[in-house]
Structure 1
Amino acid sequence: MYDVIVVGGGHAGVEAAVAAARLGQKTALFTINIDRIAAMPCNPSIGGPAKGIVVREIEALGGVMGKIADKTALQFRILNSSKGPGVQCLRVQSDKIEYSKAMRDAVLSEPGIEIVQKMVEGIATEDGKITGILCADGEMIAAKAVIITSGTYMSSKILLSDKVTHSGPEGDPTTNKLSESLRSLGLKTFRLKTGTPARVYTDSIDFSKTTIQPGDDKPYYFSNATKKEDVIQEQYACYLTYTNANTHAIIEANLDKSSMYSGVVEGVGARYCPSIEDKIVRFADKDRHQIFLEPEAASLDTTYVQGLSSSLPEDVQDAMIRTIPGLENVRVQKYGYAIEYDAIDPIQLKPSLEIMTVDGLFTAGQINGTSGYEEAAGQGLMAGINAALKNRGEEPLILKRDEAYIGVMLDDLVTKGTLEPYRLLTSRAEYRLLLRHDNAYRRLSHFGHQIGLLRSDAYAAIEDDIATIDAFIETSKTVKIPHNDAFIAYFEQKNSPFDAHDLSVYDAVKRPGIELLEVLELLDMDVSADLAFQIQVEIKYEGYIKKALKDAEKLRSMENIKLPETLDYNSIDNLSIEGKQKLSAVRPLTMGQASRISGVNPADMAILAIVLKQRTQP
């Protein structure tokens, strides 16, 4: 018997298996193809708005995605660098071949994990409790906990115009029986759709007609353990081009041949990553759309045409692509397609990612209705942690909305559910100034160390950095800016007045345009760029951060009021009918979670407060 079985070797499955094994669980990772572990069937990149911060959070908790994303990156780039720190994020262009190899090696080298190449077709239970999995060859394999991370492989179909192929990404096998097994347990499933664009041969692109998008000269990394010598020294460039009126005319003339508009698609597509056909229809007022040309791997002569996802016929895709500047004479290596698959309604999950009605069964990743490698990995990490904690008889780790983007995502899923592929956005977080790339270790590493996922030596190094930051902030309040020619010239250049002789470094950095690293260079003081960035954010945005913390504390008071898991909402007088239905479906753990359920109104919350008060009275 295994302690934990993970079904699926994608980004969620890897994190789940590694976390469970590192927490002392005898773990098996079931995959249909060991060479497809952590594959990148869609965009060859990691990170981006909100998603990049999730990768940093995974790293802070003791996961694996961050280090491997750093070491297999072709390009590093901080997005939104001209905006506030609450929306800045790291994105790397990944070498999809090396990334998958590195993840496979990480799993193979992890003690406590066994990789099993078998198709899983069912879930075995007894009296509402998980007992194991059922394989396609008829074997039943026992486990104390099972985590399903099936991605887009459950009852999946590849769609290209009116052509439907029953398979997973890249032609991998799929099965209908796993979905059927889940439905037989009373779980609700629904269909979702996503898509991918064409890949073209790089040597057939005329890059002179595009705009180069280079990487950062001094890149930041997902992991604080990554050193400059660990990463690529000569970064690859990406390139920007655009669709035009000719592109749009071809698409409009052939909409009826698209899988989405011909009636072949049953599932709901991704709002925030639409196909080019969907863009043309939904944004008819736009005369062009951005197209990014992104390298797929150092060992491949192929480029990913980001922004041109399509399920149009191959001949139409050919014509469409060749209207785009730089791609007039391009040769297509692989055409775009749509993929449709089964997911479960995440309302059926506890915040720990355990299925409410099946003790010991967890799900993570796209099966829960999300999109994206990063969202999947974050869920996989939490499912692996909580399966292990459950087996150890310990309380689950539930991250709050003001603690992590992972917490925002999981709360959204289990409280609100989703009818379309869910994507993390910075706008989903009420306290995004608190959930920054630079402070992820401060926010989360104590959790990783406390449960045993983050090694003591790594945690000690993190604690040292945090102490250094705090000490430097205090020191900056006493160190004065010298009134010399160098600083006079610097402040003049920044259009900042400099007539006081007692201006502290702290007060100077609070000013617009004054950069801590530049001040330290003039003072001949040395602090690493990573720590300096966090110090500067903490100083410049001190007032805003304090306000956000105060607001978050109000939310915490609601989160600390527990709701009994056995509470019968239908028996509570004066609750609205919709409130009874939604509360009974979601089974919120706290008053805070209850308040975020769509359909639960303030009057319902007042009634719940009275019920709880009556229950606590002697």
Structure 2
Amino acid sequence: MPQITEEFDVVVIGAGHAGCEAALACARLGLDTIVFTISMDSVAWMACNPNIGGTSKGHLVREIDALGGEMGKNIDKTFIQSKMLNKSKGPAVHSLRAQADKSEYSRSMRKILENTDHLTIKQAEVSELIIEKGILKGVKTVSGAVYHCKGAVLCTGVYLNARCIYGDVSEYTGPNGLKAANHLTDSLIENGVEMYRFKTGTPARVDKRSIDFSKMEEQFGDERVVPFSFSTDPEDVQIEQVSCWLTYTNEKTHEIIRQNLDRSPLYSGMIHGTGPRYCPSVEDKVVKFKDKSRHQVFLEPEGLYTNEMYVGGMSSSMPEDVQYEMYHTVAGLEHARIVRNAYAIEYDCINPMQLQATLEFKNIKNLFSGGQFNGSSGYEEAAAQGLIAGINAAMKIKGRELLVLDRSESYIGVLIDDLVTKETHEPYRMMTSRAEYRLLLRQDNADLRLRKYGYRVGLINEEQYQNLLYKERQIEKEINRMENTFVGDSKSVQDLMKRMNSTALNSGSSLAELIRRPELTYQDLSEIDVNRPRLSEDVKEQVNINIKYEGYIKRQMKQVEQFKKMENKKIPNDIDYDRIGSLRIEAKQKLKDFRPMNIGQASRISGVSPADVSVLLVYLEQLRVTF
């Protein structure tokens, strides 16, 4: 029987958050692209929490936008509540988080894909990779159709051999009852890809009409909303917002969980996959944090046109009857009706150490990978990897320089570097603590850090790039003006100092020196700064942060200089580690397996000690390698 055969530049497997970014990047760069999805209704679907951003994750969304990705723009169009987290702390940990109308988010992203030139969406399951002599040539679907391509990006999310579990119920489906992808794993294994088995979970959804909100604390959005995308007009996101609600588990909840642990698949041995340490189920919380008498529970609306509420903080795989019993102990949920049961989901993913920093497989040329398939967790981590994988697939096909972001310039760089250099035995979650240079990698300056790369690859247009350069000039000019504008001990100045609980001036001071006082900001000085130009809010923010934290920023920039020196010490790809006699056996094996690009990367590989790095440096020097 004749089979369909088609030709594309790029094949993207999966249309979740990673797949959407990968497919859009390739298509927008002019490559004929096809993206496969198990279901057209699952494009950019939020299978778990109905929000985008959060601590450190908001940084990733801003960086995706700076590079020319879509996630930030899409959430700006479909959010129903927005809040800047950690505002009481320093700017390094400020992170934007928005509740989404999850159905609208998915529909909006699907519409974008459907109306992008050079992009085709196909509902079909890819079952096989066509690889010849270590080079990807195409893919085959379960129907036998063949799609030849120059490059492919794997973005399968949690669908490979997916199994949803609660109590003794085990269903071989993807999230939300969608079909699982049950064939591709075999093809990957046949081609030498090392697979892991991970698990994640989701809480129940309850009917809003059955909740007693009077027993909960109302959580409002910010009065003034800050958009995710640097391209969004701030005035366009000043909308009427919906509320979320906060309540807590209690000792009765915990006792019910303890009494039924033998029925939990997590503890009965029914679940084999490794779960995320930093997003535990409520069973795990009760077992591991015995000293805690309560845990936070957030009730979050899933959208404007549904009564489903997401019970954040109570992810579980307990049996259905136990779920009802434990949820009903929570204040406000005494009579809650469960619309969708909580469940755990197991799925196949890869050991990401098989990938280069470009997210291309080391042993399979032209095959790239992004998202939860790489052993990460979260929509934002997935989208960031999908974007980089898509960009690099396109760059390789076009014969152009591939994009590698390092740890000193982006959270995306930290994320990918951690995945490909450190042994990952659980789903990886981005956190601000993972970024050594987080004062420089703030969410507010993502465009200043990364938009140049988006412009270089072709996802940021000339107008956007020129706007960036103009913004840089404005910031530099205003900082210089503040450093060279002086005020004395006039009455207006002293009155302001008194109102702001700041020490009175005894002599002249520059406006910049005043900003460096903890209690004063750039905005506070407007009434004594008579020649202040009209500037946008984001420029003012950069001026304030750069002046106030100047000393800390300079110190971290010196640390980055040292880091860059190590990153710039290149290691030849064909180096024979067995010839380096002083290297420990473990280090030799790890270096041979990983094949680091530079000394910095080598130093971050698990099992390679500082002494091993010193030996490697001496050996390279003896070979007179030019760094």
Partner deviation per Cα, 1:55-76 (whole Å, 9 max, x = no partner)? 0000011111111111211111
Question: Equivalents in 2 of 1:591, 1:602: separation in Å?
Answer: 11
**Amino acid in the other structure paired with 1:365:** G
Question: Equivalents in 1 of 2:206, 2:492: separation in Å?
Answer: 52
The answer to whether the aligner puts 1:410 opposite 2:411 as a matched pair is no
1:146 to 143, 148, 152: 152
What SS class does the counterpart of residue 260 from structure 1 fall into? helix
The CA deviation at 1:523 is 3.8
Question: Equivalents in 1 of 2:487, 2:106: separation in Å?
Answer: 50
Change (3 A) 1:51 1:13: same
Alignment partner, residue 546 of structure 2: 538
The CA deviation at 1:484 is 4.9
Unmatched tracts of structure 2, length 5 or more = 1-6
Alignment partner, residue 299 of structure 1: 305
**Amino acid in the other structure paired with 2:380:** E
Q: What is the 5 A alignment of 1:1-400?
A: 1-231=7-237, 233-400=239-406
What SS class does the counterpart of residue 328 from structure 1 fall into? coil
Question: Equivalents in 2 of 1:355, 1:514: separation in Å?
Answer: 51
What SS class does the counterpart of residue 86 from structure 1 fall into? helix
Partner deviation per Cα, 1:62-118 (whole Å, 9 max, x = no partner)? 111111111211111111111111111111111101111111111111111111111
Which of 466-475 and 427-436 deviates more? 466-475
**Amino acid in the other structure paired with 2:586:** E
Question: Equivalents in 1 of 2:567, 2:457: separation in Å?
Answer: 21
RMSD, matched Cα: 1.4
Partner deviation per Cα, 1:502-559 (whole Å, 9 max, x = no partner)? 2222111110111212222554644332222221111110010001010011010010
Which of 18-27 and 269-278 deviates more? 18-27
The CA deviation at 1:617 is 6.6
Unmatched tracts of structure 1, length 5 or more = none
Alignment partner, residue 579 of structure 1: 587
* 8 Å contact from structure 1 (residues 71, 232) kept in 2: no
Question: Equivalents in 2 of 1:417, 1:134: separation in Å?
Answer: 31
Question: Equivalents in 1 of 2:332, 2:578: separation in Å?
Answer: 62
* 8 Å contact from structure 2 (residues 257, 283) kept in 1: yes
Alignment partner, residue 598 of structure 1: 606
Q: What is the 5 A alignment of 1:473-484?
A: 473-481=479-487, 483-484=489-490
2:621 to 591, 613, 616: 613
TM-score, normalised on structure 1? 0.98
**Amino acid in the other structure paired with 1:431:** Y
TM-score, normalised on structure 2? 0.96
Question: Equivalents in 2 of 1:501, 1:610: separation in Å?
Answer: 56
Question: Equivalents in 2 of 1:489, 1:94: separation in Å?
Answer: 45
The CA deviation at 1:280 is 0.4
Alignment partner, residue 3 of structure 2: none
Question: Equivalents in 1 of 2:500, 2:19: separation in Å?
Answer: 50
Partner deviation per Cα, 1:535-586 (whole Å, 9 max, x = no partner)? 1111110010001010011010010111111222233212101101111121
* 8 Å contact from structure 2 (residues 488, 505) kept in 1: no
Partner deviation per Cα, 1:151-186 (whole Å, 9 max, x = no partner)? 000011001112110010111111332111111111
What SS class does the counterpart of residue 36 from structure 2 fall into? strand
Which of 369-378 and 89-98 deviates more? 89-98
Question: Equivalents in 2 of 1:406, 1:516: separation in Å?
Answer: 30
**Identical amino acids, percent of aligned pairs:** 47
Alignment partner, residue 4 of structure 2: none
The answer to whether the aligner puts 1:564 opposite 2:572 as a matched pair is yes
1:528 to 522, 533, 536: 536
Partner deviation per Cα, 1:198-218 (whole Å, 9 max, x = no partner)? 111112211121112111111
What SS class does the counterpart of residue 262 from structure 2 fall into? helix
What SS class does the counterpart of residue 472 from structure 2 fall into? helix
Question: Equivalents in 1 of 2:294, 2:114: separation in Å?
Answer: 46
Question: Equivalents in 2 of 1:9, 1:2: separation in Å?
Answer: 17
Q: How many residues align?
A: 618
**Amino acid in the other structure paired with 1:491:** M
Question: Equivalents in 2 of 1:70, 1:123: separation in Å?
Answer: 37
Change (3 A) 1:617 1:485: closer
* 8 Å contact from structure 1 (residues 16, 381) kept in 2: yes
Question: Equivalents in 2 of 1:518, 1:171: separation in Å?
Answer: 54
**Amino acid in the other structure paired with 1:462:** L
Question: Equivalents in 2 of 1:480, 1:106: separation in Å?
Answer: 51
Change (3 A) 1:607 1:228: closer
